[in-house]
Structure 1
Amino acid sequence: MKAKSYAYILVLIFSAGACVSPPDNFPTVPEISYEGLSYLEVDGASDSLKVAINFRDAEGDLGLDPREDNPPYNPLFFLTDENGDYITYSNRPEDAPSYNPRDWAVEPTINNETIEDTLWVEHNPDYYNIFVRFFIKRNGTFNEFKWTDAPYYTTFDGRFPLILNDNNQRAVEGTIEYAMLSSGWRSIFRNDTVRLDLQIQDRALNKSNVISTPEFTLNQIQQQ
């Protein structure tokens, strides 16, 4: 039996445990499975919806440093016109969206220079390495609840930290706990039946399989 060593990482709202040198038949594309769910309400602070997933990966190239924002991990793409100029809100084309905090960036910094204007942007999905979709069950059918739409204009996609702290690739397995913080869980979902779909991505931009949590209500998974 191969020896196994364990390393635990705690960064912001993520924790990840990695088991180094497991069996050699691990996949190059990350593989994940469902582990658990919990919901915690906190007086005077954001409430936490936490999901735990198991992972396996042959190279161990999982995780991103919070400071990594250069391509391909840049957060935004700045849209340009046919002349290659940035599209500003005051000179937006007819097909551009009205102002909202997701499609427009106010005075962004590009190449260490602050642009004193409001620019049309697209969000780069490769900035993240964990992807979460929400579904609400109505009349027996699950329909997606899209956080990117009005009035929220946000996402619960995120980043988990580097599993390995060196450049030596090796097989890893472990568990990622991802806590999503909000003061609005109860007001939005109330007694709704909800399901989450999750996926992760490695540093080479290989996406894992998609997993679904069991359907749940907040009351069913609430911690006392």
Structure 2
Amino acid sequence: MKLKNYSLFVIPILFTWSGCISPPENFPTVPEIEFKNMEFVQTTSADSLILTISFRDSEGDLGLNARDIFPPFNELNYLTDNNGNYITYSNRPEEAPDFNNRDWVIFPLINNVEIPDTLWVAENPDHYNIFVDFFIKRGGTYTEFDWSDPPYFTTFDGRFPRMLEEERSRSIEGQIRYSMLSLGWNSIFRTDTVRLEVQIQDRSLNRSNVVTSPDFTLSQIER
């Protein structure tokens, strides 16, 4: 679970889950999810946007732990040129982005060796197992609010921990409660109408169906 610090945002992503092990055996190999609830909780520190979904999976291979950092679950891919050399900021091509904390890594540790330079990287989507996209509705049209764009350079995709530690296959069902913390919910969305699209992925890289939340404003789901 990654903690990102920005002038506007502090974004730890928190999970809890509850459920049943070995329910009926006709569960799907590809995870299935359903939208359950959205809540907005304001505090004296970071505010929380809380999503709850239900899930069903026949193998129970849901979740990633801290040790799941090797391919295909590695966090970053280090980009190379045609000769196989890492692309550094000082020798970046014209199409490379300007420096930001998402596209460039300073002095990375690769295979336990520190590289004394700034390298161009791309996030590996399979590092995550829950994917959340935000859409704002204006004039009847939904437009994606892309957190990877300036000035945020971030994501609300995340990782929830393994639900079963043993590797043997067992059917599971339950609910995931996913809390996204930020200092900026009110300043960004204010009275906007928002909806979320959500998907999860198992360790075999099977992606679930996409579920969509109902339209909401922060005030409508505040508790």
Fold-level similarity (TM above 0.5)? yes
Q: How many Å separate the matches in 1 of 2:170 and 2:19?
A: 11
SS in 2 for 1:187: helix
Shift of residue 107, structure 1, vs aligned partner: 1.1
SS in 2 for 1:152: coil
Report 1:39-54 matches (<5 A): 39-43=40-44, 45-54=45-54
RMSD (Å), alpha carbons: 1.2
SS in 1 for 2:95: coil
Assess if the C-alpha contact under 8 Å between 1:134 and 1:196 holds in 2: yes
2:6 matched residue in structure 1: none
Q: How many Å separate the matches in 1 of 2:148 and 2:104?
A: 13
2:75 matched residue in structure 1: 75
Are positions 1:151 and 2:151 aligned together?
yes
2:38 matched residue in structure 1: 37
Q: How many Å separate the matches in 2 of 1:46 and 1:122?
A: 28
Shift of residue 125, structure 1, vs aligned partner: 0.1
Residue deviations 1:74-113, cap 9 Å, x none? 0000011111111000011122111111111111111111
Residue deviations 1:31-78, cap 9 Å, x none? 0001111010110x2110000000000000000002321100000000
Residue deviations 1:150-203, cap 9 Å, x none? 110000000011111211211100000000010000000000000000000000
SS in 2 for 1:13: strand
SS in 1 for 2:126: helix
2:88 matched residue in structure 1: 88
Residue deviations 1:122-157, cap 9 Å, x none? 110000000000000111111100000011000000
1:169 matched residue in structure 2: 169
1:55 matched residue in structure 2: 55
State the percentage of identical aligned residues.
60
Assess if the C-alpha contact under 8 Å between 1:37 and 1:49 holds in 2: yes
SS in 2 for 1:126: helix
Query: Hey, which bits of structure 1, 4+ residues long, moved more than 3 A?
Result: none
Assess if the C-alpha contact under 8 Å between 1:60 and 1:171 holds in 2: yes
Q: How many Å separate the matches in 1 of 2:65 and 2:46?
A: 24
Q: How many Å separate the matches in 1 of 2:56 and 2:100?
A: 39
Are positions 1:26 and 2:23 aligned together?
no
**Which ranges in structure 1 are unaligned for 5 or more consecutive residues?**
1-11
Aligned residues: 212
**Which ranges in structure 2 are unaligned for 5 or more consecutive residues?**
1-12
TM-score, length-scaled by structure 1: 0.92
2:126 matched residue in structure 1: 126
Q: Which amino acid aligns with 1:147?
A: W
Q: How many Å separate the matches in 2 of 1:82 and 1:139?
A: 46
Assess if the C-alpha contact under 8 Å between 1:18 and 1:163 holds in 2: no
Q: Which amino acid aligns with 1:94?
A: E
Q: Which amino acid aligns with 2:88?
A: T
TM-score, length-scaled by structure 2: 0.93
